[in-house]
Amino acid sequence: MTTHSNTELQKSVNWKEHIELTLAILSGVLILGAWLISNNGDELFSIGLYVTAFLIGGYAKAKEGIEETIKNKELNVEMLMVLAAVGSAIIGYWAEGAILIFIFALSGALETYTLNKSHNEISSLMKLQPEEAWLIQEDGSEVSVPTSSLAVGARLLVKPGERIPADGIVQRGSTSVDMSAINGESVPADKRQGDELFAGTVNISGVIEMEMTKPSSESLFQKIITMVQNAQSEKSPSQQFIERFEGSYVKVVLVTVALMLFLPHFIFGWDWTTTFYRAIVLLVVASPCALVASIMPATLAAVSNGAKRGVLFKGGVHLEHLSSLRAIVFDKTGTLTTGKPVVTDFIVREGTSVEDALSLLAGIESRSNHPLAIAVTAYALTQEVSMRRDFDIEEVPGNGLRAFPPEGEVIVGSPRFVGIDDAKAFHSGSAFALAEEGKTVLFIKDQEGILAAAALQDVLRPEAIEAIQELKKAGLKTIMLTGDNEKTAKAIASQAGIDSYTAECLPDMKVKKVKELMEQYGAVGMVGDGINDAPALATATSGISMGEGTDVALETADVVLMKNDLTKLPYTIKLSRKMQRIVKQNVFFSILIIAMLIISNFMQIVDLPFGVIGHEGSTILVILNGLRMLNTTK
């Protein structure tokens, strides 16, 4: 869906909300005026006002009911309400029929308001997507063009303060980019030549040239919008059941009302006026308006709640499934951990300066693009240590690096490269023992022996421990599946507080383990971020992807944590469970009210005015109860 069509959709929903609410209020004012005039004895004029109230308040719902009946070739709740109001007028209960139309119109406006609230998330997202971009032409000049007209490979200019118009790569220049629209992080990210850019993020400082790498329809931002749209349009299993049930129920009500028009006269001896009156009351109180409204407003409100907090559901069905989960499976790298190694320990030889050793090691590693080398270089920068450059280096493939500073040859690498015996003996074996904690240990060796050792590890996300604890409090079992080795897996599982783990898992083994867990626990969620997680994400009851995950993981998952914040996972499950509680409350309450009103009608306890108030009042109450899902879940 394009920017234009989404904007038009939002305007349409807003306009519909205002129109429906205005007509409902106007209908109520006319009813009040008709009632006051009727009390003064002018019956004819009051009836005229009631008829006007019928037409104004009931037009939208009657039109909707007739169109749906013609389209589906099946009567619906709207038609029941129209028939009930007309029936009330026929037997002289103009006020009751008009009030029925008024409250029904008011509940309809309330439902439209709920829909509008859910569409606000799309509207706010759409405002972040630029509609124009500066296209760099072959002669180097720049021209403003619509983003929809851009093609992959286009060279674009982005000035300070402007939003990035498309997904792409920096070709020239450097800047800081506000990524909060994508990942929720308040700290801007530095972008240089070759770095990836995302549509909708904000260029803060420098002028950059970029190359567009994805069509606008396939940008990460557009995928987010599409996921929200799909979540709002896809109905949960409960909603689908209610809608199927509605058609059959309406038929049963109409048949029962038809029988009520004459059977009580012969069976119970009621006069014809009472018989017809009670049939009309039955038509009002037996309509399943509250039951029909029990689910959708709550679901839309929950989807909106999640989107506001960076959790995207691909449909109501997935939101409903989350409430049934009994176990959660986690991938390790990039999910429980940051996915990037960091230096956790740095040990130097006695009598050696930490700064000197780190300066030499970082200077050597700064010449390599290996992830471990990058981590060591980053560590030196955080320690504000300047890196030595007074030497040449030589890469030894599969082993490490060899450097030639003035003081003599130095080698950097694994224990095997520097000598296992020397590595084990260094610092009384404490450095080598760090490997038992699941860490990768790099050694630097000079002419005198081992100079220093750096232990690196893909560390836990800061929020991982809290998230695991919250999931356990919610009664879920936590399991980790990783392709990493046993030592690393054990260390991370222990740090995070995971209940159990399986190491050295290939993608097919992850699928097998998820299936086994589903047999054991029933409903199982899978949280991952990589291509290798996609099969398991598709297999699990609920697949949950990290927002920074691969495109495959994002496409396969049912739920996306856009801010990569694991604490949103227990929040999301609590949100789902709260929604299920509210839905159950609504269904039980609406069925109870319908049953009470039907029984009271047969016992001739409830009259039409109270039947109208009880029926339509319960509809409004279940909608308002559903709107509680917009509030933050504790």
DSSP codes joined into one string, 521-587: HSSEEEEE-SGGGHHHHHHSSEEEEETTS-HHHHHH-SEEETT--TTHHHHHHHHHHHHHHHHHHHH
Better-predicted residue by pLDDT, 277 or 609 = 277
Roughly how many angstroms between the first and final C-alpha of the chain, as a whole number? 34
pLDDT for position 16? 57
Instruction: Please give the share of the chain, as a percent, with pLDDT higher than 70.
Output: 85
CATH number of 132-216: 2.70.150.10
Q: Is the pLDDT of residue 554 over 80?
A: no
Locate CATH 3.40.1110.10 in the chain: 339-459
Locate CATH 2.70.150.10 in the chain: 132-216
Question: Strand 559-561 to strand 542-546: parallel, antiparallel, or no bridges (unpaired)?
Answer: parallel
Phi, psi for residue 401 in degrees, rounded to 5: -130, 150
DSSP 149: G
Locate CATH 3.40.50.1000 in the chain: 324-337+461-574
pLDDT for position 527? 93
| Longest Cα–Cα distance in the chain | 116
What does 401-437 look like in DSSP terms, one character per residue?
A: EEE--TT--EEEE-HHHH-HHHHHHGGGGHHHHGGGG
* Tokens 């949950």 belong to residue: 544
339-459: CATH architecture? 3-Layer(aba) Sandwich (3.40)
Band the pLDDT of 531: cuts 50, 70, 90. low
DSSP 148: G
Q: Which of 373, 370, 363, 414 is nearest to 393 (CA)?
A: 363
Q: Which residues pair with 211 in a beta bridge?
A: 155, 169
Question: Strand 155-158 to strand 208-212: parallel, antiparallel, or no bridges (unpaired)?
Answer: antiparallel
Q: Is the pLDDT of residue 121 over 50?
A: no
Q: Is the pLDDT of residue 269 over 90?
A: no
Q: Is the pLDDT of residue 433 over 90?
A: no
324-337+461-574: CATH architecture? 3-Layer(aba) Sandwich (3.40)
Does the active-site annotation cover 331? yes
Cα–Cα distance, 540 to 515 (Å, whole number) = 8
Total number of residues shown for the chain: 634
Instruction: Average the pLDDT over 588-605 and give the result.
Output: 90
Which residue of the set 42, 195, 331, 345 is catalytic?
Answer: 331
pLDDT for position 467? 94
pLDDT for position 452? 94
Between the CA of residue 530 and those of 487, 498, 553, what are the distances in Å? Answer: 22, 20, 6
The answer to whether the CB of 517 falls within 8 A of the CB of 325 is no
Q: Which of 230, 299, 311 is nearest to 1 (CA)?
A: 230
> For the CA atoms of 110, 111, 113, 118, what is the dihedral angle to 10 degrees?
150
Cα–Cα distance, 562 to 312 (Å, whole number) = 7
pLDDT digits over 6-46, tens only?
444 445 445 655 677 777 788 878 878 877 887 777 777 88
Contact partners, residue 535, CB within 8 Å, separation at least 6? 507, 508, 510, 511
Q: Which of 229, 236, 249 is nearest to 294 (CA)?
A: 236
Q: Which of 124-133, 181-190, 245-254 has the lowest mean pLDDT?
A: 181-190
